[in-house]
Amino acid sequence: MTMAKRRQYLLTRTAGLLCLGTQLSLLPSTLHALTLPELVSTAERFDDREVVLNGTASEVHSQSSNYGDLYTTLTIVDQGQEITVFSFGNPKVKPGDRIEVRGVFRRVGHNQRATAPNKIEAWSISHTE
């Protein structure tokens, strides 16, 4: 795949996720928040599905892509387990914050450089408590 086609694919996918996230945020959610151990132990059940997860943020990193798009990666820790979260933008989260994440769970998450097991591509990150 050429760089131009890859960029177009990423922009289309991002736009789709943003539109989906906006539409879903306008609807009342029927999902209950999962615990991290529940999500990890039944990962195949939730693969490529919307999830809601509460936990404590750690290892928060915001940066820009090669194309200038701001994104954030962070780790959620809960009951001795952790999971990686990816989100476009800067959700103003710092380590130690209690947060709720809404997004699509991927048993195998991909980016340009690596493959990561158990990852959430979030469209909403909010503070709790």
Domain ranges of the chain: 31-127
- pLDDT of 52 above 70: yes
Residue 17 has pLDDT above 80, yes or no: no
Please indicate whether residue 6 or residue 19 has the higher confidence score (pLDDT): 6
Task: Record the tokens describing residue 102, joined without a space.
Answer: 């809404």
* Mean pLDDT confidence for 1-11: 68
- pLDDT computed for residue 28 by the predictor: 47
pTM: 0.70
Instruction: Give one DSSP letter per residue of the chain, joined into a string.
Output: --HHHHHHHHHHHHHHHHHHHHHHHHSPP-PPPBPHHHHHHTHHHHTTEEEEEEEEEEEEEEEE-TTS-EEEEEEEEETTEEEEEEEES-----TT-EEEEEEEEEEEEE-SS-EEEEEEEEEEEEE--
**Which CATH code for domain 31-127?**
2.40.50.140
Q: What's the pLDDT score for residue 108?
A: 75
Please tell me the predicted confidence (pLDDT) of residue 129. 73
